Structure 1
Amino acid sequence: MTINSGLIYAVATADTKGRELFYIGDCLRKAGADVVTVDLSTQGVSQPSGADFPPELIADFHPEGRDAVFCGDRGRAIDAMALAFKIFLNQRRDLAGIIGLGGSCGTALITPAMQALPVGVPKVMVSTMASGDVSGYVGASDISMVYSVTDVSGLNRISRQVLGNAAHQIAGAVLFPVPEDNNDKPALGLTMFGVTTPCIQMVSTMLEEDYDCLVFHATGSGGKAMEKLTESGMLSGLLDLTTTEVCDHLFGGVLACDETRFDAVAHSKVPCVISCGALDMVNFGHISTVPAKYADRLFYHHNAQVTLMRTTVEENVAMAKWIADKLNRCEGDIVFLIPEGGFSALDAPGQAFWLPEARDAFITTLEAQVRQTARRVIRRLPFNINDPQFAQAAVRQFRQLVEKEL
């Protein structure tokens, strides 16, 4: 999607949030921004919406037409309008930013379309849901969630202040844009965790002269963001050295990827060096949040809000099989590096998570399950993942993959 000029799209369900929507529009105009309003009401309206884009117009963008939206079933109507709005927004060529407001339904209506916009396009969502878990609404995008404090139901001394602040936030982002980055270096994606930080910092330092190194925190959303950029063609290669999100996905941790992890590598075929950074741990919050079934496990208290649980032999076997299945679908150039000296700062001789039998279970299972070819290779290295020699080897392997591509 190419952004050519500068309108801010203000979006809500005007049948219940009309006063608030038009108040935001007024705030934006007073701030000097150009704005259009969009009504995503799903009940059908007997009176004209008053918005620049009424709901009937948006509903017409649904592949099955407006009847799919105005169907009389609230749940299906919301899903249908969300799809119609996503298609509508993707076709706009005058969009410079978007601000939405709503409760649970309005937030579910608006944010899928926001997620589909390119990273860097300003996105603000004022929501009653913004004080809780917003991962489903934000996804891998750069949506700014603003808690509405009061319900989005009328204008009062609180809502005027919150909505006005949000309007000024989006206006500032649009009217004072960040200068375009003219860096012509190819961009690389790297994954990092606290316990693999030394490795990634060394790798970045060795590559930064030739590449724009984008480091993603392996927190579930970090991996998703990296893979979204990979799918969009914005990354020329990956050093996906910290794959800990797989642990949480398989064993109920709080920083989980989903079933699509590594799919972007398979689709894009970008050169990729992968490793098993922090596969020795599952992440939970405060110790009180750890499921009761794990009561007898080995834990490390990372800080007051983060508890790490050591993965077992059986879990390492399961992870290796899951990752191997993903790797076997990849046809691009991939090297999987195994640090035999440990998968993290805690997985080293004398450290809390040193458990050679778990490490060995992962290695032998991965080597048995992956169908190695000239383009899909596993290599063992006799180092801990944070040793300088491992970082040097990762960089050397990546450069060799790039040269092979040329």
Structure 2
Amino acid sequence: MVHVVVLGTCDTKLDELLFLCEAIRRADPNVGVSLIDVGRSEIKHEAITYTHSNLIENYGKGQQVDDLPRGELIKRMAGYATALVKELYEKADGTYIDGIISAGGSGGTSLAAAVMRDALPIGFPKMIVSTVASGDTGPIVEETDITLMYSVVDVAGLNQLLRNVLSNAGAAIAGMATSYASRRALSPPGVKARVGITMFGVTTPAVDAIRKHLESKHNVETYVFHATGHGGKAMERLVREGGLDAVLDLTTTEVCDFLTGGVMSAGDDRLEAAAKAGIPNLVSVGATDMSNFGPKSTVPERYKSRKLYEHNPMVTLMRTSQEEAKEVGSFIVSQLKKHARDPAMIEVWLPKGGVSMIATPDGPFADASADEAMFKALYDGLDSSDIKVKEDGRDINDSSFARDIAEALMEKVRVHRTS
């Protein structure tokens, strides 16, 4: 049977959660439902499959949470529920779950999202009916595929509007779970190599050429990640989940934003996952000539005198300085050397003819001294390591560069698969 988990705080949202459970069953009687109570205090009801006390006893060593501050309570219960949901997903007897859904306010949303992000992989059906789904949802979804549905009214008492919203949500998760279960049952194990590629607007020609070459000449499925911060995080997560077999990290621009305070940082663990996994990992320096900010008026005061380029009315690019470029190179060196499980699977390519569409000679971001500072930091930093550095005179969007770096990656994939 297809099975959906409903997660929520039964001490405050029991009626609404019970209605949601019933909405799933009405949508498809062949879908089973389990209810997990992540509330502050124990509630007795026959429909609750995994009670508050179950979580405390089995995953919290019996330590009571009733008197904890709200923030600490959410963290604790999220941790306990994560352990349970992960266990249900990985059950050895094949009684898998096929979807998860929650409904609540900001606290319940925060708790449910943490469970969904930490317990379940990308591609698994996840949905939250939330009072905050129409605001800034970045901290809720992060780099995952959680589906959010705005509740319109508070999840506090059933009325016709909320019943309609919850009914739609129940039908949606039932359909998603059924589809997921059928794909899991029918799809044979993948034989194509799954290759992650990072892209930005100014490296699009290269990525398009790489993708077409890999898909036409090799048995490869490509996953292109837009290097906007969340894109880099998503790729790192997918590698950690075992969802990629190789990475062509062409566009490492997110490192610039991390170092300068730009708006598209992927954090301080960028470039870690593939190195730790030991999978084929070709790294280049695409779009490292720039940091990203919003409209020109939002550029920090300390950068107002820098070379700025209005990419569009919503995005302003700042040219990386010589010192910043050196820091970018040093960051990449540090990450690769520190986390490399198999240095032979890593290779760094330096396109000396231009690291982006606008950094080629005579381009608005052409700056040979800044680029050279980064190249030198990379070359010198990796000189004593077993990580190979390839200097290339072409620009990153040169079609022959794209073909050659794609072939170099596939050679490492071949070696990796036969080793």
Q: In which range does the TM-score fall when normalised by the shorter chain?
A: over 0.9
CA displacement, residues 336-381 of structure 1 (integer Å, 9 cap, x when unaligned): 00011111111112322111121111111222222444x4011111
Change (3 A) 1:150 1:28: same
Q: In the alignment, which residue of structure 2 is the partner of 1:162?
A: 165
Q: In the alignment, which residue of structure 1 is the partner of 2:233?
A: 224
Q: In the alignment, which residue of structure 2 is the partner of 1:211?
A: 220
1:147 equivalenced with 2:144 (yes/no): no
Maintained 8 Å contact 2:205/2:397? yes
1:377 equivalenced with 2:388 (yes/no): yes
Q: Distance in 2 between the 1:127 and 1:188 partners?
A: 34
SS in 2 for 1:300: strand
CA displacement, residues 21-61 of structure 1 (integer Å, 9 cap, x when unaligned): 1111121111013222221102x136548522221112223
Tell me the TM-score normalized by structure 2: 0.90
Counting only pairs closer than 5 Å after superposition, residues 331-370 of structure 1 correspond to structure 2 as 331-332=341-342, 333-370=345-382
1:99 equivalenced with 2:101 (yes/no): yes
1:171 equivalenced with 2:210 (yes/no): no
Counting only pairs closer than 5 Å after superposition, residues 8-23 of structure 1 correspond to structure 2 as 8-23=4-19
Maintained 8 Å contact 2:328/2:374? yes
Tell me the TM-score normalized by structure 1: 0.92
Q: In the alignment, which residue of structure 2 is the partner of 1:236?
A: 245
1:61 to 44, 58, 63: 58
Change (3 A) 1:371 1:20: farther
CA displacement, residues 242-276 of structure 1 (integer Å, 9 cap, x when unaligned): 11111111111222111211111222111111000
Maintained 8 Å contact 1:344/1:386? yes
Q: In the alignment, which residue of structure 1 is the partner of 2:191?
A: 184
1:202 equivalenced with 2:209 (yes/no): yes
**Structure 1 residue 120, shift from structure 2 partner:** 1.8
Q: Distance in 2 between the 1:181 and 1:316 partners?
A: 45
Maintained 8 Å contact 1:61/1:85? no
Q: In the alignment, which residue of structure 1 is the partner of 2:83?
A: 87
Maintained 8 Å contact 2:199/2:251? yes
Residue identity in the other structure for 1:87: A
Maintained 8 Å contact 1:331/1:376? no
CA displacement, residues 76-97 of structure 1 (integer Å, 9 cap, x when unaligned): 2211111000000011143110
Maintained 8 Å contact 1:7/1:35? yes
**Structure 1 residue 151, shift from structure 2 partner:** 2.2
Q: In the alignment, which residue of structure 1 is the partner of 2:410?
A: 399
Residue identity in the other structure for 1:304: P
CA displacement, residues 114-162 of structure 1 (integer Å, 9 cap, x when unaligned): 1121222110011222223323322332111222222222223432232
- Which blocks of at least 5 consecutive residues in structure 2 are unaligned? none
SS in 1 for 2:247: strand
1:45 equivalenced with 2:56 (yes/no): no
CA displacement, residues 49-75 of structure 1 (integer Å, 9 cap, x when unaligned): 85222211122232x423253343322
More helix by share: 2
Identical-residue share of aligned pairs (%): 37
Maintained 8 Å contact 2:247/2:281? yes
Q: Name whichever of 152-161 and 388-397 sits farther off.
A: 152-161
Residue identity in the other structure for 2:381: Q
Residue identity in the other structure for 2:148: M
Change (3 A) 1:49 1:59: farther
CA displacement, residues 151-179 of structure 1 (integer Å, 9 cap, x when unaligned): 22222343223222222211121233464
Q: In the alignment, which residue of structure 2 is the partner of 1:388?
A: 399
Q: Distance in 1 between the 2:72 and 2:392 partners?
A: 53
Maintained 8 Å contact 2:250/2:282? yes
Alignment coverage as a number of residue pairs: 399
SS in 1 for 2:34: strand
2:296 to 277, 281, 287: 287
Maintained 8 Å contact 2:230/2:266? yes
Residue identity in the other structure for 2:37: D
Maintained 8 Å contact 2:277/2:341? no
Q: Distance in 1 between the 2:107 and 2:357 partners?
A: 44
Residue identity in the other structure for 1:60: E
SS in 2 for 1:389: helix
Maintained 8 Å contact 2:275/2:281? no
Change (3 A) 1:236 1:50: closer
Q: Distance in 1 between the 2:242 and 2:370 partners?
A: 36
Residue identity in the other structure for 1:53: Y
